[in-house]
A = this chain, B = another copy of it.
Amino acid sequence: MATPLPPRRRPTMVDVAARAGVSRALVSLVFRGQPGASAETRSRVLAAAEELGYRPDSAARLLARGRSRTLGVLMTVREPFEADLVEAIYPEAERLGYEVLLSARTPGRDEATAVEGLLAHRCEAIVLLGPDVGDAFLTELGARTVAVVVGRAAPGLDSVHSADAEGVRQAVDHLVGLGHRDVVHVDGGTGPNAAARRTGYLEAMAAHGFGGRARVLPGAYHEDAGIAAAQALLAGPELPTAVLAANDRCALGLLDTLRRNGVDVPGRVSVVGYNDDRLARLSHVDLTTVRQDAGLLARHAVRAAAARLDDPDLEPGETELTPELVVRGTTAPPGVPGGALAADVAP
């Protein structure tokens, strides 16, 4: 008995109800998993739905229900750390009974457009990933809907981020503990959190009594900045024994350029990144870095959104998670051949 496919029309509840010989309301009931239908009827409805290839229309469902129970996520394709976040958002949202809609910010599509799309789809809350969202934009958005920012502090909004100064301090402690004295920081420029990381570095150096040796190189949150910084270091009078990069991508550029120029890492120079994104963990990179736990950040963000949704009068809060240093293969005590090699490399 082949299913008589209606022309092209997508089957609705009415079709299922007719086929199962029950009312529309009963079908709705079954699909919402509510009590009130006998086991026998329930399975008959389900079978009818299956035969027709019926699936509930979430537009209609959204409309009829007051709430959409949908979370919008603003992301950047291509940022490995955000990918980690997205992966972690899905399960937590599901656990709390929310659907997730993704919208990407790209070079040709700004945040406003991306968010507009999410809002039009009735997202109850927006989770903004990545710190490169404008401040003015944020406050305006916060006034209009529930918004949670992941990766940086946001005044007047819910935000989840890690304690950057603390993370940097751990990295400096680790390097100093290994015996390093000349630790250079390649910073994140004007990027968000860059100031916090920079300050954290300076303070940590001072705390160890190396305030005078602290040295900050201008950088940014991408590979090219790392490459440029490495070239600057190679051209300088003497290589430091350790470099603390603004983030993992910057560290990667740095690492690669140093090695290509015959500098042994970690033998001659130790390198530390920040974020612990997937790239850092790859076996051929094996970067010592400061981990921001993407899973934890994501869970907190989703919960914050849900909490605000449950109680709109809740004060927006800032959640600061403690980052954790992950020691891998790019750090070691300053090498014995250090001085000699430095001389070799320096002009």
Task: Report A's interface with B, CB cutoff 8 A.
Answer: 8, 53, 55-60, 62-63, 68, 75, 77-78, 80, 82-83, 86-87, 90-91, 99-104, 106-109, 116-117, 119-122, 144, 223-224, 227, 252-253, 256-257, 259-260, 278, 282-285, 312
Contacts and interface: CB of A to CB of B under 8 A. Distances in A.
A78 B284 CA distance: 18
Given A82-B77, A108-B87, A278-B78, A57 B120 contact: yes
Copies of this chain in the oligomer: 2
Contacts of A104: 86-87, 90, 102
A57 B87 CA distance: 28
Contact of A108 (B59, B63, B91, B223): B91
27 contacts: A56-B120, A58-B120, A59-B59, A59-B62, A59-B68, A63-B63, A75-B77, A77-B77, A77-B87, A86-B104, A87-B104, A87-B106, A87-B108, A90-B108, A90-B109, A102-B102, A102-B103, A102-B104, A121-B121, A223-B283, A223-B284, A224-B282, A227-B284, A252-B284, A256-B285, A257-B284, A260-B284
A99 B77 contact: no
A105 to B, nearest CB: 10
A298 to B, nearest CB: 11
A34 to B, nearest CB: 19
Contact of A86 (B58, B77, B224): B77
A101 B82 CA distance: 18
Nearest to A107: B87
Given A90-B109, A104-B86, A55 B260 contact: no
Nearest to A278: B78
Contacts of A107: 87
Given A102-B103, A107-B87, A59 B122 contact: yes
Contacts of A117: 99-100
Given A58-B59, A58-B122, 5 more contacts: A77-B83, A78-B83, A223-B283, A252-B284, A256-B285
A99 B75 CA distance: 17
A72 to B, nearest CB: 11
Minimum-distance CB pairs A-B, first 6: A77-B83, A102-B102, A78-B83, A59-B62, A256-B284, A58-B120
A253 B286 CA distance: 12
A282 B225 CA distance: 12
B116 A55 contact: yes
Nearest to A68: B59
A144 B224 CA distance: 46
Nearest to A227: B284
Contacts of A87: 77-78, 104, 106-108
Contacts of A284: 223, 227, 252-253, 256-257, 260
A55 B282 contact: no
